[in-house]
Structure 1
Amino acid sequence: MQAAALSKNNTAAPRFSLRSSELPIGVVAEQLGLTLRAIRHYEEMGLIACGRGPKNVRTLGQSARARLAAIADLKSLGLPISEIVDLLGEDGACPDRLKTRLRAQLEALDARRTAIAGYLSGL
């Protein structure tokens, strides 16, 4: 087995390099708490565009990572992926529609909280 070449500061040099803004899919998945399968699915749906690195590894640039983070955030807020597709659009977020949808989500949660509190007070 070959040892990695050492740079001048005695650290192992990478065997390959990506453009500085590109990260491998595994690193991005770990950072965002997503599965590789989910990221590949979002790519297949056309929500994000992945590049390719050495050995055909999917890579994500800064804009794809930001979009993926927005998708993850919206999913964690309870929005289904079908709505997220519509709200984000192809060219980025539709802020007015997104704000309207999130306000409606918040109103529904407030109503649910009120109903739960009322039920609890009757126990």
Structure 2
Amino acid sequence: MLGEMTLTAYGASKAALINLSRFLATQYGTQGIRSNVIGFVLSDNAIETTPQAVKDVLRDHHLNPELGSPRDIANVVAFLASDESRFINGAMIPVDGGFTAHQPTMVDFQRLFQAPGSNQL
């Protein structure tokens, strides 16, 4: 979903799956077959084995006060599998606490402007 300096193969395979979903939606949508992708960031459960420095970065860039849970992802899966989502096809739905909704420099600028007397550049 976003470029970064590491995990190149992981990022490329993620992009390939997103595009595969779009191709499937295009090829089979008229037959009533939908294909969508859910993009998510580590949940509280998976983060237990993650180093603290990585946790801090992830928490800094979440727009929600907490990391998500497997249930948050399951709720979107259930919705996409239901008839209520019948008009959603070929989409990538982020379930990431706003992680991909902002510029990666946002946290650094917040720190800059939170410093006393730093409300202007």
| TM bin (shorter chain) | under 0.3
Normalised by the length of structure 2, the TM-score is 0.23
Structure with more of its chain in helix, by fraction:
1
Q: TM-score scaled to structure 1, two decimals? A: 0.22
Tell which has more relative contact order, 1 or 2 (C-alpha 8 A, sep 6+): 2
Q: Which structure has the bigger radius of gyration?
A: 1
